[in-house]
Structure 1
């Protein structure tokens, strides 16, 4: 990693601080329940109380209901029907880790909009730092790393999800962090391979490279992604294949006679432990609250504790798997009509974003009719520029087999293509914000394309100047586009006419 180490950290940290300001400023606005916060904020609070998700039965005098009823939003509180217990088991469709993270903010700052949005804003801000650092590592350029972080900081969908208590921002964070660990592992393992190849006698297969702590970290993080939402499995599988190809490429590049069989015999066993067993254990650990409690949905506690410790483990796992099959059936059959549902083919074009919040008000913004809105939409300049950059990555990879282009394309495809199956086979209800794990890879594609436009450091000055103008203009337009949309991304109260002007497509309404 050439260049100044201090600047390599200072630049990304400053960009991340800028992004954190955008995400934490007025985080408690709107002071209301935004979209699916009605589920996750409540579930998170129940987790902090009981270790499992529980629905509260009672009237508005119930202490949990009292804390969550505000600004007239009574629909956040769910009662049992029939009322078998108070509180009663609650069936949920997603693993608990994301809700545990939301619960941390609620415990620190109370059962308030700021409290339940805190964790998302924090990890959203940290993801800007991670992206800037991984882009620097992939390009060997602090400037390009800061460009990547800046683009994520002003990306509209990332901002909205960072300021909303939904699960998807946590999924994106763990996927990106896992990918970053694998990129670091790639550098370290290649250096170790070269060192062992040059300083010892090796077989045709090459040496074993040890446990590789960065790969272990990737396994934990990708397991955490699955423990937020099951769609994390798409990335786990894709990155296992990517890591194997990187290992085989390294052994071939160093000159080993049998690189592929060397990868299978030396790297695959460790890989299966790091990115097979370890993610499974991480996922299982995220359900600890359910295992140690008698209060969870489908827990069958009395049956599990009836015949000794071995039966307890066996029956608990059986009940846990039965619960998972119920959830799988639910997701497969989820085809409810929703006004903001969209098909995967339309997602990169931003044709149907989700209106997370809208409230019309009178005489509070200087004119008769005002609007306060949160629209879950990406910054169009970045998204359409990203499409062009992804096409460039296809050409670059086909022509040069550059690993960076391949990794970016794989990351984007892993978050997009699997949804086509659910759309075609099951007609599943889906939303545009499912794309958030793809966004860092789209921005990495833009960053790599920017590096190609700038040219190498020793290029003729006129080439560098022209490239700087093009890349600088794109960054400026991205910031300007974000600034224009910011009022409808962050629930600013503006004249209704100004809100309407920002609806760039009629399908946004």
Structure 2
């Protein structure tokens, strides 16, 4: 009886299982270290300013005074920030709930990170048609070091990853619903249903919600727009494939025509949601550049209201910053090395005093993905190409699109100061692609067959991944370890 119940609720139990594991990895010792880690100096202090005065004020004095509870450096002058609002508002929500403590400014990132793991497991379950392989994808993300580190740090990229995954998941739901409604419409219409591009299946509510999710991604970091473009085009291609499979005449033109409402909704919803997320900037006089239009009459986009004209010019300044940021940084990295984790970012490194003995101890946080997962991800990309060419297997291509959307757009900006941790936006697709490849290895002839050698290889791989994650966990949480042990974790010279 228990096994029958467990089988019936297997998807729920799987989601709970990977969620609990993700929570253990992300919530334990979340308040450590007690100092601002890497770019938390911008986002945690900015979020506190949002809570205390409604906008992001400039700061003076030593950066770490904030972590010690000294907020006297906050000024009423608006701070020149160069990213949209959503991620910082979410960090502010954590501070509002738990106070301006390390736990308070990191809890939102942790919660959204845990939610991302659960979403990935459920999406992979749907795409791969298996609760087991959905669980494998969730497990891999739950124990990946890059995602763990970004879920334990008050930066923006983890929120970006959540909204991208949510948008993709909503498009997966939209396709499933579209297929059901298309089949029902075709059955009720009879032979005439295949004519004229096929039947109209009503409002695509899941797709509209996906557009909103992508808008929130872009409202966290502008790079969310790349994912929106790739996945919304993919959704239209899915429509074409499904209409053709249903035997609809003129499926190509019919799908293109029916994509027009989606295009119109996109160009309306994304700007609308984006501008709405700047509400605190509009309602506060102290925000940076809020009064620009009043001080520069006749300049900028003159046909807009003053508030929007100020916002547009502010974004021009932000664009100039991002396109000309070339300040040297010891941990900047070329996008070519991201998928192999060639140059991870050191977020934190301090000697730990008061440890018994003469041995040197350190506390370090390195945004390094589990090397085996990422190296397998690169191999899975090549495997996806092979499967597409030889077996016409398109699932690997679909998941690869999520990687390419978050990776390739950065290549033209390799001259800029950019970092490997940006790859957290596409690590959900890396683990789903790896889970897909493992499924193909363990079940090469279909879902009801198993390869004994393949299953053993997959089991060994997952076991070694878990061992490696346990080995690197101190470097993802900042646990004190001997310096010599830290050196043993540096497998590549570029990691130091």
1:345 to 1:363, Cα distance in 2 relative to 1, 3 A: same
Please say if 1:70 is aligned against 2:68: yes
Say if 1:42 and 1:77, in contact at 8 Å, map to a contact too.
no
The match for 2:428 is 440
Inter-partner Cα distance in structure 2 for 1:363 and 1:320: 51
Gaps of 5+ in 2: 1-5
Shift of 1:466: 2.2
Say if 2:174 and 2:207, in contact at 8 Å, map to a contact too.
yes
Say if 1:54 and 1:87, in contact at 8 Å, map to a contact too.
yes
Say if 1:365 and 1:494, in contact at 8 Å, map to a contact too.
no
Inter-partner Cα distance in structure 1 for 2:39 and 2:73: 13
Please say if 1:236 is aligned against 2:228: yes
Inter-partner Cα distance in structure 2 for 1:302 and 1:440: 42
Inter-partner Cα distance in structure 2 for 1:290 and 1:492: 39
Q: 1:407 aligns with which of 386, 398, 402?
A: 398
Q: 2:217 aligns with which of 210, 225, 236?
A: 225
Inter-partner Cα distance in structure 2 for 1:365 and 1:233: 51
The match for 1:280 is 271
The match for 1:464 is 451
The match for 1:298 is 289
Inter-partner Cα distance in structure 2 for 1:193 and 1:458: 28
Please say if 1:112 is aligned against 2:101: yes
Say if 2:341 and 2:371, in contact at 8 Å, map to a contact too.
yes
Inter-partner Cα distance in structure 1 for 2:372 and 2:64: 43
Shift of 1:464: 3.2
Q: Deviations over 1:18-50 (max 9, x none)?
A: 111110000001111100000000111111233
The match for 1:450 is 438
Gaps of 5+ in 1: 80-85
> What count of residue pairs does the alignment treat as equivalent?
483
Q: 2:50 aligns with which of 47, 51, 62?
A: 47
Say if 1:185 and 1:212, in contact at 8 Å, map to a contact too.
yes
Please say if 1:190 is aligned against 2:179: yes
Q: Deviations over 1:351-394 (max 9, x none)?
A: 11111000012442655310100011000011111111111111
Say if 1:336 and 1:429, in contact at 8 Å, map to a contact too.
yes
Inter-partner Cα distance in structure 1 for 2:409 and 2:27: 33
Say if 2:215 and 2:274, in contact at 8 Å, map to a contact too.
yes
Say if 2:125 and 2:133, in contact at 8 Å, map to a contact too.
yes
TM value normalised by structure 2: 0.92
The 10-residue stretch of structure 1 (157-166 or 192-201) with the greater mean CA deviation from structure 2:
192-201
Please say if 1:91 is aligned against 2:83: no
The match for 1:483 is 470
Structure 1 residue ranges, 4+ long, deviating more than 4 angstroms after superposition: 76-79
TM value normalised by structure 1: 0.90
